[in-house]
């Protein structure tokens, strides 16, 4: 349902600005925390979400998606779960496994209940109170994971009817979660199918934030057809920034049935203002919105045009994502779980590319492994994984020479230089120090023509 944004009066800004009084968390955080409109991880380092949504509850066998999403540069995955009120309930054991997959792949997990979608307008949807019941029923697997998990209470919890109850229902849900012992950062979605054309979330965000005794709540806006101009996007997000309220774009696409969102402005404004974004969605869409798939059949080697845009385009995930600092110095291996025997199979399910093997690094040194993550006509994305040896290192330099005239046009997580076909990559300030056996990854976009052979890469530690 298309509604245009309007300019609010000075009274609204005054009310929003009052939220500065709630800038600091009420108690020391064991995980993520909010201060002055910014999200911080457990180390006190600012964290900006760069990631995608993954429909786990409908495709529970696609556990390789976590590693594949990470390999393309994401630092966060928003995971679709079901409370059992509309779709088959994700058990506590399944959620525990999802969290372990996020951690193994050094991703921050935003867990959301999807059964609330469009409540009040969609008769099959359930309430935020029911979603809260679900979170409390699996509290045992959530507690202790505050460094890695953010709880998104309910997806798009109201449609275009009955949404005046959003403020009270959301506030009550937060209070119940806190009373039940959950100290995680909480994320709350807007009503109006997530797009808040009525400004219900925008105008009442200070009240909801104040309802959280820990002052540790983040607001999530979904940007589709309502946000089809730069003015609408910058005005909405800008009001939260001015007020010191934490805001993320929890879903957005490059097109939609209700209009054509301005994804370029969403991404550029988010990057310029350190606002998180999570695109919809990795794969498996149906009901006429299959164009929102970022990959074909969950295959990371087959990025769609939307996948190419969000991962490799201007202000995209690959160029702007920074891994959460809670993973610094650790190097768990990406893992996947066995396919559940009772899970339905998707229409297509190609196997992902087998990851390269890496020889054991020498003591006191480092090794580097080169991988072509994705390739298309005339271009490709490459990743290089640097691994410290049996002793910690303070810096690293990786070198290789292209044999087929490949040329790098863009890189991230390293300082890259070249002399003709010979390339040198040096660590940047946040990924040079690696503990014994720990790894970091940098990547680049390059052109190729005809042949794209894999070069040998050397690594020197300092």
Strands of the sheet with 439-447, listed across from one edge: 366-376, 379-388, 439-447, 407-412
Instruction: Report which of 151, 149, 110 is spatially closest to residue 128, judged by C-alpha positions.
Output: 151
Question: What is each CA distance from 223 to 110, 182, 416, in whole angstroms?
Answer: 18, 28, 35
Do 215 and 25 form a contact (C-beta atoms < 8 A)? yes
Instruction: Report which of 43, 59, 130 is spatially closest to residue 94, judged by C-alpha positions.
Output: 59
d(CA 80, CA 100): 15
Backbone angles phi, psi at 150, to 5 degrees: -115, 135
Q: In this structure, are strands 439-447 and 407-412 parallel, antiparallel, or unpaired?
A: antiparallel
Residue 156 annotated in active site? yes
d(CA 136, CA 218): 19
Half-sphere exposure of 351 (CA within 13 A, CB side): 4
Q: Which one is catalytic: 112, 146, 232, 251?
A: 251
Instruction: Report which of 155, 230, 139 is spatially closest to residue 191, judged by C-alpha positions.
Output: 155
Q: Which one is catalytic: 156, 232, 263, 323?
A: 156
Backbone angles phi, psi at 323, to 5 degrees: -65, 145
Do 281 and 79 form a contact (C-beta atoms < 8 A)? no
**Cis preceding-peptide flag for 281 (omega within 30 of 0):** yes
Would the CA dihedral through 169, 171, 175, 180 be positive or negative? positive
3-state helix, strand, coil in the chain (%, to 5): 25, 25, 50
Backbone angles phi, psi at 89, to 5 degrees: -65, 135
Known catalytic residues are 156, 251
């Amino acid at each position: 349902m298309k509604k245009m944004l309007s300019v609010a009066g000075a009274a609204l800004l005054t009310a929003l600005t009052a939220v500065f009084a709630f800038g600091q968390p009420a108690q020391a955080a064991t995980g993520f925390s909010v201060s002055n409109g910014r999200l911080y991880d457990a180390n006190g380092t600012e964290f900006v979400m760069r990631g995608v949504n993954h429909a786990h509850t409908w495709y529970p066998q696609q556990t390789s998606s976590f590693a594949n999403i990470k390999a393309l540069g994401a630092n966060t995955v928003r995971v679709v779960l079901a409370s059992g009120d509309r779709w088959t309930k994700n058990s506590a054991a399944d959620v525990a496994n999802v969290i372990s997959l996020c951690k193994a792949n050094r991703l921050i997990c935003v867990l959301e209940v999807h059964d609330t979608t469009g409540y009040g307008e969609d008769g099959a949807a359930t309430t935020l109170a029911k979603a809260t019941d679900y979170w409390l029923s699996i509290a045992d697997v959530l507690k202790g994971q505050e460094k890695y998990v953010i709880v998104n209470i309910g997806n798009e919890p109201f449609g275009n009817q009955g949404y005046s109850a959003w403020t009270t229902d959301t506030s009550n849900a937060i209070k119940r979660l806190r009373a039940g012992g959950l100290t995680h950062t909480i994320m709350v979605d807007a009503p109006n199918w997530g797009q808040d054309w009525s400004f219900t979330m925008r105008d009442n965000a200070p009240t909801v934030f104040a309802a959280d005794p820990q002052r540790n709540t983040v607001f999530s806006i979904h940007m589709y057809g309502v946000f089809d101009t730069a003015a609408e996007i910058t005005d909405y997000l800008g009001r939260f920034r001015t007020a010191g309220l934490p805001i993320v774009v929890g879903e957005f696409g490059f097109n939609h049935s209700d209009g054509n969102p301005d994804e370029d402005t969403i991404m550029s404004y988010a990057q310029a203002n350190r606002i998180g974004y999570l695109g919809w969605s990795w794969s498996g869409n149906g009901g006429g919105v299959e164009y929102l798939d970022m990959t074909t059949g969950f295959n990371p080697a087959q990025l769609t045009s939307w996948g190419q845009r969000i991962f490799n385009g201007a202000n995209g995930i690959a160029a702007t994502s920074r891994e959460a600092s809670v993973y610094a110095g650790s190097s768990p291996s990406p893992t996947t779980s066995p396919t559940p025997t009772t899970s339905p199979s998707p229409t297509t399910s190609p196997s992902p590319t087998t990851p390269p093997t890496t020889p054991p690094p020498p003591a006191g040194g480092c090794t580097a492994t080169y991988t072509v993550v994705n390739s298309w006509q005339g271009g490709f994305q490459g990743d290089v994984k640097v691994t410290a040896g049996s002793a910690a290192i303070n810096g690293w330099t990786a070198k290789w020479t292209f044999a087929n005239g490949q040329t790098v046009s863009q890189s991230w997580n390293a300082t890259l230089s070249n002399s003709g076909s010979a390339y040198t990559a040096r660590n940047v300030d946040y990924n040079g120090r690696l503990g014994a056996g720990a790894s970091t990854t940098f990547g680049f976009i390059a052109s190729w023509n005809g042949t794209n052979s894999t070069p040998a890469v050397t690594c020197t530690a300092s």
